[in-house]
Amino acid sequence: MPFEKVRSILVDQLDVDEDAVTLESSITDDLGADSLDVVDMVMSLEEEFDMEIPDEDIETMKTVGDIVRFIEARNE
């Protein structure tokens, strides 16, 4: 499941506790990501899942669940 990989990336990049990363976690509000963190996160996700994430899609990703659903939809 993509959630485990996404959580691992977020834990490493944002230096947050694994338990803090849930599907409902807000990337900026709950996990404290700033714009640079988001750019780094997107690059890591693109590399991990071998996909390109368009800027307009990045702007709609507010929670960890949004990221996971995007990846799952692209991998169907």
Q: Bridge partners of 63?
A: 26
- Catalytic positions are 34
Q: Bridge partners of 26?
A: 63
Letter string b/e over residues 59-70, b meaning 16 or more CB atoms within 10 A of that residue's CB = eebebbebbbeb
